[in-house]
Amino acid sequence: MSTHTSPGTATPSASAEQEDIVSELSPVPACLAHAIADRTAPAAASEPRPQLSAREVEVLLAWILGETKGEVCRTLFIAPGTVNTHLARIREKYRAAGRPAPTKAALLARALQDGYLSLDDI
């Protein structure tokens, strides 16, 4: 017997924002969509929110949107080393806050949780 729910179907513990995320991910299987929504829920007030610079957020958004690091360089008129430095500093800030984000997906989740990016941005 399957315990899946269809995308957008409310669960007792899901918030309205999480349900919005699930509905945005409708092509994704419901169990996976709910897992993503749980991981992108806003960070609790007790969780430290690293302070990212405007340029770090700009680089992160360009990279998250699926651009390669080379495309980020051309779009933002910065060197490849600069892109890597910004991403390394962002990861270090999250690691120092006790919320490591070693992958692109983890960085996306953290940025959504902390309000640096919204679903409208992506």
Q: Tell me, what's the pLDDT at 105? A: 93
Q: For residue 6, what are the CA distances in angstroms to 21, 33, 35, 108?
A: 13, 10, 13, 24
CA-CA distance, 93 to 51, in Å (whole number)?
Answer: 8
Interior CA angle at 31 toward 47 and 120, to 5°?
60
CATH architecture assignment, domain 54-113? Orthogonal Bundle (1.10)
Domain boundaries for CATH 1.10.10 within the chain: 54-113
pLDDT per residue as tens digits for the range 14-54? 466 656 655 555 554 555 555 555 555 555 556 789 999 99
CB atoms under 10 Å from CB of 74, counted, come to: 10
pLDDT per residue as tens digits for the range 43-88? 555 678 999 999 999 999 999 987 799 999 999 999 999 999 999 9
In contact, 86 and 56? CB cutoff 8 Å:
yes
